[in-house]
Structure 1
Amino acid sequence: MVSLAYSFDCVIFEVEGVISNSAQIEQEAWLAALNSFLLRRNASIQAGSNRVVQRPFEEEDLNPHLNGKPLRDDAAARLFMSHRHIKLPEGLPRDSDDSNTIYGLCHAKHNQFMERLSTKGVRAWSQTVKLIKDLHSKGIPMAVATSSIYADTVLKAMGLTPYFTAIVDGGTAAQCSLRPKPSPDLILNACQAVGCTPGRAVVIEATEAGVSAARAANALLTVGVARHDNSFVMRNAGAHVVVPDLDGYASGDSLHTWIRHGTAANGANSRSPLSGIGPVAASPKSTGFADLDGFDVIPSPRPTPRHGRRAAPSEDSPPDSAHGSGGTQRASPQASPIPSPPSGLAVPGPPPPQRKVSVCAPPTGDEDDELDDEFFAQQLAKRRASRRKSSCFVLRPLTFSGVLFDVDGVFANVRQISELAWRLTIDELLLQRQEKLQEPYFEFESEEFERFFYGMQRLDGLATFLASRQIKLQEGSPDDDPVQGSATPTIHALANKQRLQFIELLSQNHAQVQWFMSTILLVHDLRRKGLKVGVISTMEGAARLLEAKGVLDLCNCIVDGPEAQKADLAEFPAPDLWLRLAEQMELPLDELVVVGGSPGSLQAARQAKAAFVIGMLREGTDEGVEAYGADIVIRDFAESHTAEHIQRWWDAKFTGPRMAATRDRRQSLAIQRRGSIRELRPTGMFAVADWEVREDQYLERTHQLKETLFCLGNGFLAMRGSFEEGFHGAMGESVPGTYLNGFYESSPIRYAEAAYGYPERHQTMLNVTGCRSIRFSVPGIDGPVDVHHGNGEITDYQRTLSFQEGVVTREYTWTNGEQKSVQVKVRNLVSFEDKNLAVIEYEVTPDFEGEVFLTTTVEGQVTNVTGGNDPRVGAALTGPTLKVIKTELHEEGLLTAVTSRTTYSNLVLACAARCVLTTENAFLVEGKATETATETEFRIAAEKGVPIKLTKYCAYHHSRDVADLTALGPNALATANGAQSKGMEHWTARQAEYLKRFWEQCNVEIRGDPGLQQGLRFNMLHLLMSVGRDGRTNIGAKGLTGEGYEGHYFWDTEIYIFPFFLYTMPDIARGLLEFRYNTLDGARRRAKELDHKGALYPWRTIMGDEASAYFPAGTAQYHINADVIFSLKRYMEATEDTDFLREMGAEMVFETARFWVDIGNFRTRDGKFVINMVTGPDEYTALVNNNCFTNLMARNNLQYAVEVAQRLKKDFPKDWLRLSKALELTLEELEEWARAAQAMYLPYDEKLGIFLQDDSFLN
């Protein structure tokens, strides 16, 4: 027995760079696979094609993306293709290695890797092998934590697998949803696998990401092995010790010594044993891969399957010896003496408390080096046992035998084809009956298909449908002619006709079938793991459909329409089809999982007593599907396309509380890893809810913030969430603003010393005519008393913004010292249906009798917030900016209007309000008008408990929407009157309908974090409420919620906001691009002002001209040009809107490309294209040379300009001729764009292996 006292319990290794140099093999494999693909691609390019012949990939192309990066093969393949601007289809997992798809490329790389591994072998670092054997001899558990999927294969090739208790690799990460390094997930799970807490673990890494992961896991000791001159970055990442190699430190004693000396620095009571160790670089003992004396070169046998047995080692090459062509000596099994600590470590002190590790010593001498098959098998058995015990990193034993799938709704969406077949059949019948029987014709509705036919038996559904239409037909027989052309066919004849229609439509529309690729991936995974797969469908043609997609060969059995008909099997919701399929698969249904895509198939599965039923919810509601017996309801297999995911669901149903406890432990571990989001979120502001933000307590000090959060808008008009009664608090502030997107004032910019090219005018979004003020007064001892938050006691307060209704409601009870009480209810909306309209409903219910007053105004004398020197707060404007030119009073004040004009921009605005009072009380109304405002006062004889409701319809029209200014006032009055004629309930209903469509298209569902869910939906709603839609407006940096940044539009639109609308509401995305096109002339003027060619978009603007007065942090951010084109390119990739490209987009692309070539130049010494004196997006390093982001984006702009030109020439020659003539484009210009893009300089530091922010970044 050997008894050792160590201060750590386990050691976690990275493979690549620590144990072996398999990364070099992987890089060679990628180069071979990529260049083989390029050879095929280049050979296929036709003369005259616009496709570019690509140069071969070289190591420099791969290094920035592979070195230390935990990328999956498919992600790496997409990255390599995107950097060469090559579009490859995803393909299928079964694609061969010569397929021009992402999957094909991954398979080619995998085959190349395995070939090189089997022929050339893999190099192992001898000192690391020595450390591994030393730790093993002393009974220290070891594990591997790596993102590589080849870890097990590489370790087996080196004969090191038996030494490790657990291997947590890329495959494990995929199965358990573990994040790659620098996340700590892999290391935490490796520690869990060996039964060690991270605080007692040593982690040895070779990359910055690995070191960061170890520190994030709170490892006791993090050792960085800097083989690639990356000691600097590993020290910065937090490594406790950094060494160029483990030579001289290849023993557990070395690790123990480092920990001891680290502990001494802080004394015995230190909470962190290593907090005294800084990032220390130990003295180098070896110099990298060029020194082959540091290597054991191990030729690898053909790799065996994971967990497979290895052949018995020969006497000449025991598994823990080094052997190969060089015949190097075997590492000594004995422990090394304790070396001196590396320079820089603290002086030794008292060690921390230690525990004893007692294990049986391995055999000594030659026997130590010969691990026989029995020992190898024992080690693998231990690993399998430890994997079964783990709750996350382990592959679960699969306890179900197979999965049965419905086709429609699960594999593919043929519902539309089925509905069309029924529609054609039924409509023909109805037209025949109209012609021959004079019956009224009402066309077949989608709701009827859903109700009577979807997932139901054809004959039963048809009979029920006919009964609902009061059509009586004979049943007939199954052989009835389907093409009778009669007004009174039999039910069987109609059903046969629909069947033929469906088959014909399906054969004609194969390409239009929507396939769900996640289901296909799941089937591949199931078959790989030896599980059976069966498919069922009530339609004819299902087998042909699956065969065309390459899925049929993966299925053990299929039961489709013809077989069901031949065997006289009842259709869904009868269980016959599921029972028949299980019988053919020779498996009982209590061992099978069933996946159904319709109510009928789910009912059938439950009647068949399937063990576990999954409802595939592509459409409809969760409740509807669960009502038919699904154990779990999902929308797609996108996040659950492995057998292990299904196993977890199976376990959750059949193992009850034990699995619930396991899930709790997993959740606890996840929270430990990433921190609880809910703990970090303020808990006193809003209650967490899926579809609303609700304020249950009013706080004066946050009033201004809440005005922003409860703002309502529609992209044209917005109102802040101010109180109608006004703000009367002693703490906090209020900004009661109303804003119109694109309605601005322009005023001269005052410079201490002006210069050529400086912008000349401010542009400021204005706070416009206020329509919100409502005052309710009750009788008091000394006269009327206003009801508001600063004058009385407020109870039962609540304010809610509903994401689904688009309405803000506010309720409270007000009580004063005279024991008068009033219940107040307020509803606000800014209409999505009518952009010019906002509606306010103000209802009060007094608990007393007496005369009360309800007064509302339209106020034209308004001001903006003065921002001083902080543009994030407000504007430089002072005093009223809108000059009232007319006030109107109609119908005794029930209809009023105020018209105003700006001073400099010469824009005109008309605001009208229609008031409606609803009450059973008697009242009088009186209107007043001043030079700047109108007022409507209601004098009401209030009775106790009788509600008084004022509904105010506010309309805003401005001169940017009309040519005839005299029409503004009448237009506003007409809008207010028209809105009142429809009533508040109409507008709330239409608001909810609009948002229902929005959420159906845009909603993102997050399960497990309701706070994050609420925040996401809140922000999506605010984007919708703020974005311009008309091609003349955009979206400001603060949306329409306030006056920060003066309402200016920045690059935020293209980079951060545009993608959301592109992939959810592309029409709005197009409108944002149209704004840039409509301001292209202004961009041309700006470029000309600065003596440049082409066009330069403004850094901040409202109407298209530059409004940033500070050149270094404004105009010098030239990347705005490329940002606009970046979003344009994304738009074209997503929509293929060639009309936009021809009519607007191409002109934008060409003019911005001209600008880049004009401001840059080709450097004399190396021919690189450089762009000097620019400011990048961080704004802190202004006017630098070769900002990396700017140069990258400029290259993209130039490349896309060449692509667009080539496409127009080929596909739209008339448009190319028109544009090239109008813009005077020449072939030489296009060639210069291509050369500049090809030669674009990107600052890169070879020593650190990083792209630099700019040329001066490291100075």
Structure 2
Amino acid sequence: MNQDYIVPDKWSIIEEGFEKGRVKSSESLFSIGNGAMGQRANFEEQYSGPSFQGSYIAGVYYPDKTRVGWWKNGYPEHFAKVLNAPNWIGIDVFVNEEGLDLNTCQKVSGFRRELNMKEGWYQRSFIALLQNGIKIKVESTRFLSLDLDELGAINYKVELLSGAAKITFKPYVDSGITNTDANWDEKFWKILEVEAEDNQGFIISKTLKTEFHTCTFMQSELKLNDTKVSGDFQKETTEDKVIFTYTSNAKEGDVVSLMKFAGYVTDMNHNQSELISAAKAVLTKATETGFTKLLQDQKDAWAKIWEMADITIDGDIKAQQGIRFNIFQLNQTYSGKDERLNIGPKGFTGEKYGGSTYWDTEAYCIPFYMATKDQEVARNLLTYRYNHLEKAIENAEKLGFSNGAALYPMVTMNGEESHNEWEITFEEIHRNGAMVFAIYNYVRYTGDFEYIPEKGLEVMIAIAKFWHQRANFSKVKNKYVILGVTGPNEYENNVNNNWYTNYIAKWCIEYCLEMIEKVKDGHKEDYNRIIGLTRINDEELIEWREVAEEMYFPYSEEHGVFLQQDGFLDKEIIPVDKLDKMHRPINQKWSWDRILRSCYIKQADVLQGLYFFEDHFSKETLEKHFDFYEPLTVHESSLSPCVHSIQAAKLDRMDQAYEFYVRTSRLDLDDYNNEVKEGCHITSMAGTWISIVEGFGGMRIVEDQLSFHPRIPDGWQAYSFKVNFRNQIVKVEVNAGKTTFKVEGDQSVLILVKGKQIEVNPNESVTV
């Protein structure tokens, strides 16, 4: 564990005491968002110390030109990335002309910040002794409205603790920003218009290349001891900034505060020529509602989210804080309202990975959104990929595939591949399988088979065509093989016959063939439409089946396990616990060459397949593979501990399951991988939720029914969660000696508990 400064608390993330060395980490951990926009927890006032400024708008991106030393045919031209958007939180503060800057103050005391997850607001307070000898107390409260998702609000208070002084606030919006991760140190925005009117400021800007038009806006109001200060204020505009200046003379004990409403409107949702009008409408609504009522509405909106999504844990405050932090960040990142949007690995907390969509959404996130929201939210995530099918076919064509074969991108904003590391972009083709698994997972959970003839089967067919073409027949092995790939374990590149990739390819083909027959029998009109679109024929389907039936899987008779890839046993097999801790994490201490030659596994690979398809294998098979591969796994991917936690729980190894759960739930809070300053691991947070619901709770779908096998870690008195199963809310409460089920809906639900069926009637509890 690399850090331990977050105060344990059931509902809040709290930091006490100011240390310059952890500012960037806290900027990530205390980030806020509302699905439409988000921002790192940067200070409103100026700060001259190391900081990572970041504000982001969902769906607004830039194709940053690829930078590689040696160009290869097929490389994407660009790396799509979420943009650091114009900054609207800024409020420069001056006390008798001296700027407030925590990096240069004589003394900072009483520093505290809190991210209140229950109510959805962020607050920071401290006492500062300035160089001029004046002492002030500052309290700033900030939130991004869930109800008015184009609006943010700040209430910034300065209390004068000594003498008399002139307090000056300079709120601003600033378009002169850059991305920390820019490939060529370019600016990504062109400023079109800067306007100040009354106490409102507007900057119209557009992204270069993609031409998203955005209006960043603000409105401010000054108060002295809660009384509005009317009178003159100064306005200043530059080529990229709007600045207002408000001044008030204060005496000891006075509180001078600035109320600031601000945010973004974009041409994704408004007419391009009416952005300032749209911004004014948001400000009018905010002013009419007022800060206090907006904050109460925020609390009510979060209460509604928690009513369904909360997981309670009794007896382990750090575990409780960890799971709520994960659930909170997931809901800040994606609301499910807009099928054009998706979930980036860093959400709104940083720029690493470009803020784009990865296979994480299908493999890890869909179960969380499917079970904690209406099923339409998960359907929107599937539709996002359906809408990108043409681009996926284009991506495959660029690599030489034909006949409508699709390769979904490793990284994307608009369906086009935009990742430029060869071993990831062109070898990590297993992501295609996650697209199909997500459809299967959605249908088995929701019972919404209609999605398959409506949209899903077209995606499956295009992916089956890809696997058919990507596999080739080996005369030596007398089997079909898949060469030159990277599996989920990214510490092995360009390997042959990665077991997970081969297995999911085989499964995708077989599931597609099964669904073709099912749609043919029950949805004739859709079947004819899809056959017309995809031009598949019986001969092609026979070839697919042959590839699936004759797929090769590397296996070790000596160890009795499937091998991660053909050459895995050529490596020197040394368990991780024999590795000097000075070498960890190896991705920061070793050369890439050394990593590739080692036996060390970044994340679940063979075990990922045994997680997805556990009903294909016995518990004994899982145990044998877990015992072989886990000791070689360094868990240097955020997606690794959750899968291992679930499998350890299934194997009744609860100490190990709990250890992995803590690691996934507090990955960022405790900064296990020493990288939280770059942003939080949002998509893996869905894996944390799965660790409890599928791991400890043992939830599965068995024979079209909900099934549970509850277990509880030592030290926990109880835990509970809810799932929305086919529009019936099922609440599960697990204690050391019993489990209670309750249905909040209008229909009875049949539930399997350790293989035995019970019936739970609406609004009744059944204890097992």
Deviation at 1:1024, TM superposition (A): 1.5
Deviation at 1:907, TM superposition (A): 2.0
After superposition, where does 1:562-573 map in structure 2 within 5 Å?
A: none
Amino acid aligned to 1:747: D
Deviation at 1:946, TM superposition (A): 3.0
Deviation at 1:858, TM superposition (A): 0.4
Counterpart position of 2:159 = 845
Contact 2:11 2:324 in 1 (8 A): yes
Counterpart position of 2:217 = 912
After superposition, where does 1:264-343 map in structure 2 within 5 Å?
A: none
Counterpart position of 1:948 = 256
After superposition, where does 1:124-273 map in structure 2 within 5 Å?
A: none
Q: Distance in 2 between matches of 1:1143 and 1:1097?
A: 19
| Unaligned residue ranges in structure 1 (runs of 5+) | 1-679, 866-873
Q: Paired residue for 1:696, among 9, 16, 37?
A: 16
Deviation at 1:1166, TM superposition (A): 6.1
Deviations 1:748-776 (A, max 9, x none): 32454434322122212110100011122
Larger Rg: 1
Deviation at 1:1170, TM superposition (A): 1.9
Deviations 1:231-286 (A, max 9, x none): xxxxxxxxxxxxxxxxxxxxxxxxxxxxxxxxxxxxxxxxxxxxxxxxxxxxxxxx
1:1149 and 2:487 are equivalent in the alignment = no
Counterpart position of 2:76 = 759
Contact 1:918 1:950 in 2 (8 A): yes
Deviation at 1:785, TM superposition (A): 4.4
Residues 1:933 and 1:1210: Cα distance change in structure 2 (over 3 Å): same
Residues 1:1109 and 1:948: Cα distance change in structure 2 (over 3 Å): same
Deviations 1:1152-1191 (A, max 9, x none): 1111011113444665332222221112222222110101
Counterpart position of 1:996 = 303
Q: Distance in 1 between matches of 2:522 and 2:213?
A: 45
Deviations 1:784-807 (A, max 9, x none): 443645223222221100110110
Deviation at 1:885, TM superposition (A): 1.0
Contact 2:37 2:56 in 1 (8 A): yes
Q: Paired residue for 2:172, among 836, 857, 861?
A: 857
Contact 1:1126 1:1196 in 2 (8 A): no
Report which stretch shifted further, 981-990 or 744-753. Answer: 744-753
Residues 1:1009 and 1:877: Cα distance change in structure 2 (over 3 Å): farther
Contact 2:108 2:129 in 1 (8 A): yes
Deviations 1:15-45 (A, max 9, x none): xxxxxxxxxxxxxxxxxxxxxxxxxxxxxxx
Q: Distance in 1 between matches of 2:540 and 2:549?
A: 14
Counterpart position of 2:205 = 900
Secondary structure of 1:1149's counterpart equals helix
Deviations 1:65-101 (A, max 9, x none): xxxxxxxxxxxxxxxxxxxxxxxxxxxxxxxxxxxxx
Counterpart position of 1:1198 = 509
Deviations 1:330-358 (A, max 9, x none): xxxxxxxxxxxxxxxxxxxxxxxxxxxxx
Counterpart position of 2:733 = none
Contact 2:64 2:182 in 1 (8 A): no
Contact 2:388 2:414 in 1 (8 A): yes
1:1113 and 2:424 are equivalent in the alignment = yes
| Larger fraction in helix | 1
Residues 1:906 and 1:765: Cα distance change in structure 2 (over 3 Å): same
Counterpart position of 1:711 = 31
After superposition, where does 1:585-624 map in structure 2 within 5 Å?
A: none
Counterpart position of 2:56 = 739
Counterpart position of 2:378 = 1069
Counterpart position of 2:446 = 1135
Q: Distance in 2 between matches of 1:816 and 1:1089?
A: 61
Deviation at 1:1102, TM superposition (A): 1.9
Amino acid aligned to 2:53: P
Q: Distance in 2 between matches of 1:1015 and 1:972?
A: 37
Q: Distance in 2 between matches of 1:706 and 1:756?
A: 42
Residues 1:1163 and 1:818: Cα distance change in structure 2 (over 3 Å): closer
Number of residues paired by the alignment? 562
Q: Distance in 2 between matches of 1:789 and 1:1164?
A: 68
Counterpart position of 2:233 = 925
Deviations 1:447-505 (A, max 9, x none): xxxxxxxxxxxxxxxxxxxxxxxxxxxxxxxxxxxxxxxxxxxxxxxxxxxxxxxxxxx
Contact 1:823 1:845 in 2 (8 A): yes
Q: Paired residue for 1:1088, among 397, 409, 424?
A: 397
1:687 and 2:7 are equivalent in the alignment = yes
Counterpart position of 1:610 = none
Amino acid aligned to 2:216: C
Contact 1:955 1:976 in 2 (8 A): no
Report which stretch shifted further, 1128-1137 or 788-797. Answer: 788-797
Deviation at 1:896, TM superposition (A): 0.8
Q: Distance in 1 between matches of 2:565 and 2:100?
A: 61
After superposition, where does 1:955-966 map in structure 2 within 5 Å?
A: 955-962=263-270, 964-966=271-273
Residues 1:916 and 1:1051: Cα distance change in structure 2 (over 3 Å): same
Counterpart position of 1:178 = none
Q: Which has the higher contact order (CA 8 A, sep 6+)?
A: 2
Q: Distance in 1 between matches of 2:541 and 2:167?
A: 76
Q: Distance in 2 between matches of 1:877 and 1:837?
A: 32
Secondary structure of 2:364's counterpart equals helix
Secondary structure of 1:823's counterpart equals strand
Deviation at 1:1097, TM superposition (A): 0.7
Deviation at 1:934, TM superposition (A): 0.3
Q: Distance in 1 between matches of 2:67 and 2:230?
A: 58
1:1220 and 2:537 are equivalent in the alignment = no
Contact 2:18 2:109 in 1 (8 A): no
Contact 2:105 2:131 in 1 (8 A): no
Counterpart position of 1:815 = 129
Deviation at 1:819, TM superposition (A): 4.6
Residues 1:787 and 1:1045: Cα distance change in structure 2 (over 3 Å): closer
Q: Paired residue for 1:1158, among 459, 469, 488?
A: 469
Counterpart position of 1:720 = 40
Deviation at 1:1202, TM superposition (A): 1.5
**Runs of 4+ displaced beyond 6 Å:** none
| Unaligned residue ranges in structure 2 (runs of 5+) | 571-768
Contact 1:1028 1:1034 in 2 (8 A): no
Deviation at 1:958, TM superposition (A): 2.2
After superposition, where does 1:516-531 map in structure 2 within 5 Å?
A: none
Residues 1:1163 and 1:1028: Cα distance change in structure 2 (over 3 Å): farther
Deviation at 1:1245, TM superposition (A): 1.3
Contact 1:955 1:973 in 2 (8 A): no
Secondary structure of 1:708's counterpart equals helix
Contact 1:778 1:787 in 2 (8 A): no
Q: Distance in 2 between matches of 1:747 and 1:703?
A: 28
Contact 1:1031 1:1078 in 2 (8 A): no
Deviation at 1:1016, TM superposition (A): 1.3
Q: Distance in 1 between matches of 2:509 and 2:220?
A: 57
Q: Distance in 1 between matches of 2:167 and 2:232?
A: 11
Residues 1:1158 and 1:785: Cα distance change in structure 2 (over 3 Å): closer
Deviations 1:497-546 (A, max 9, x none): xxxxxxxxxxxxxxxxxxxxxxxxxxxxxxxxxxxxxxxxxxxxxxxxxx
Deviations 1:1206-1241 (A, max 9, x none): 221122111111111122122333333333323222
Secondary structure of 1:1076's counterpart equals helix
Q: Distance in 2 between matches of 1:1117 and 1:768?
A: 31
Deviation at 1:851, TM superposition (A): 2.7
Deviations 1:650-677 (A, max 9, x none): xxxxxxxxxxxxxxxxxxxxxxxxxxxx
1:1249 and 2:560 are equivalent in the alignment = yes
Q: Distance in 2 between matches of 1:1088 and 1:1117?
A: 17
After superposition, where does 1:416-565 map in structure 2 within 5 Å?
A: none
Contact 1:711 1:1041 in 2 (8 A): yes
Report the TM-score, using the length of structure 1 for normalisation: 0.43
Residues 1:784 and 1:1117: Cα distance change in structure 2 (over 3 Å): closer
Q: Distance in 2 between matches of 1:929 and 1:1078?
A: 42
Secondary structure of 1:961's counterpart equals coil
1:1060 and 2:380 are equivalent in the alignment = no
